[in-house]
Structure 1
Amino acid sequence: MNIQHCKWVSLSGRLLGALYYYSPTESQLEPILAFFRQPDWQTQWEDEVDSDIVHCIQKGLVSEQLDREYQALFIGPNTLWAPPWGSVYLDPESVLFGDSLLKLREFLRQHHVEFVTTQNEPEDHIGLMLLLSAYLAENRPELLLIFLSEHVFTWSTRYLQLLANQQTSVFYRGLALLTQATLKQWQRYFNVEVNARHLYR
C-alpha cells in the first residue's frame, strides 16, 4: 500500500473528521479552523480544490452563527436535514444503532480496534468514521480498504449529497463538497470497490 497515500488519508481524515465531530466552539477545532482560514489553504490540499468549495468555506468561516448552524445540522432539536449516522441510511427502519452499526462494531472487535470517544455518539457518525479512517491509515493500513468499502463508502455519498444541498449553512455545504471530492480521491488512490447497498434515505 502506498505510504504517501496513507499519510494523506491520515491527514485529511483527521481534518475533515474533526469538523463533523466537534462543535466549532470546542478547543479541539481551533487549529483546524485556523488552517481553513488561511487564504491559500487549498494549495496545501493534495488534490485541486474547486473554487466553489473554497468560496463556501471562506464565506462560512466568517459567520457569527457557525455554532448555531452546527447545532441545527448535527444536534437538533429539530429534525436533522442530513443525519450523520450510517445506520440511518443502511437500516430499513432508518434508525440509530441499526444492523450496519452492529456489523461495524463486530469489525472493530474482530480486529481489536479500540478508540475512546469524547461524546456519546454511535460509532457510525461521519466524523468518527473519517477519524477512524485516519487511524487505520496510520496504524492498521491492512484494514483500511475493507473499512472504506464496507463501512464508509456504502452510505457516505448519499449523506454528503444531502448535506451539500441543505440551506442552513454555507460552511457545511463547502465541507460536504470538499469531503465528497476527498473521498473520491481516496477511492481512486486505493482502487476501492464499493459494496453496493440499498439506501433507505
Structure 2
Amino acid sequence: MQIHRALFYYQPSQYQEINLLDSFASSDVEIEGLNDLIQAFANSDLIELQEEHDTLLAGIGDMEAPPWGSVYLDREEVIFGESTLVFRTFLRECNLDFNTPQNEPEDQVGLMLMVLGILLEQGRIDRATTLLDKHLNTWFDQFIKRFNQHAQNPSYQALGHFSQDLVTTINQAVQAE
C-alpha cells in the first residue's frame, strides 16, 4: 500500500531525493505485479513521468483525474469540502495525524491508501472497513476510471490498473472477515 501512496502522492522529481524506488525494489515482499510496477517506474523517463503526474494529479492545466475525494463527492466539486472534514474526523478517531508538507486535503487517494494499509497492518479491520465503505469506496471508482482513461504513460497505466485490482481485492478480503 505504501508504494501506491508514494506514486500517487509524490512528484516523480522527488523519487530519487527520497530514495523511493530503491527502497521498494529492495523489499522482500512478493506481491504479484508489484515488482513489475516498480520496475516500470524505475525504467521510465523522469520528464515523461513528471508531465504525466502533473496532468493527472497535480492540477497543472486541466486536471484529468483529481486525486481528492471531495472533488467527486461535494456539490461544488472543490477540495477541502465537507467530505474532507468528515475524513479528517475519521483520522482523529483512529488516532492518526498527518502533517503534509503542503496544506493538502487529507482525502488524497495516496494518503487514503496509506491509511488503509496502516489500519490493515495494525489488524484494525473494523476501521479499515469503515474507511473503505464510508470514505474511499464512495469515490474511488470514479477517480480510477478517469485515471485509467487519461493515463498515457505505461507506468501510470500500470499504477491505475494495479491500484484498481488491489482495492477490489482488499474490499473482498475485508467483507470475508
TM over 0.5: yes
Q: Please say if 1:176 is aligned against 2:160.
A: yes
**Amino-acid identity (%):** 31
Instruction: Map 1:28-67 onto structure 2 (within 5 A).
Output: 28=18, 30-32=19-21, 35=24, 44-45=30-31, 48-49=32-33, 58=40, 61-64=43-46, 65-67=48-50
Pairwise CA distance, 1:35? 4.4
Structure 1 CA distance for aligned equivalents of residues 161 and 104 of structure 2: 24
1:24 to 4, 8, 12: 12
Matched, 1:188 2:172: yes
Distance 1:44 1:133, change over 3 A: same
From 144, 157, 160, the equivalent of 2:141 is 157
Residues 1:100 and 2:62 aligned together: no
Paired residue type of 2:4: L
Query: In the TM superposition, what is the alpha-carbon distance from 1:33 to its structure 2 partner?
Result: 6.0
Single out whichever of 103-112 and 59-68 deviates more from structure 2: 59-68
Give, in angstroms, the shift of residue 164 of structure 1.
0.5
Q: In the alignment, is the contact (CA less than 8 A) between 1:60 and 1:171 conserved in 2? A: no
SS in 2 for 1:115: coil
Report 1:107-122 matches (<5 A): 107-122=90-105
Q: Which is bigger in relative contact order (C-alpha 8 A, separation at least 6)?
A: 1
Distance 1:136 1:68, change over 3 A: same
Give the 3 Å change call, closer, same or farther, for CA 35–138 of structure 1 in structure 2: closer
Structure 1 gap ranges (5+):
1-12, 193-201
SS at match of 2:72: helix
- Offset of residue 14 of structure 1: 0.7
Superposition TM-score, scaled by structure 1 size:
0.73
Matches within 5 A, 1:57-96: 58=40, 61-64=43-46, 65-96=48-79
For each residue in 1:133-170, what CA deviation from the matched residue of structure 2 results, as whole angstroms up to 9, or x when unmatched? 12222346141111121111111111011100105422
Q: How many residues are treated as equivalent by the alignment?
A: 171
Offset, 1:117: 1.8
> Which SS does the other structure have where 1:116 is aligned?
coil
With over 3 angstroms needed to count, the CA separation of the structure-2 counterparts of 1:60 and 1:157, relative to structure 1, is farther
Structure 1 residues 33 and 70: CA distance shift in structure 2, 3 A: farther
Cα distance between partner residues in 2 of 1:166 and 1:78: 14
What residue is the counterpart of 1:135 in the other structure? 118
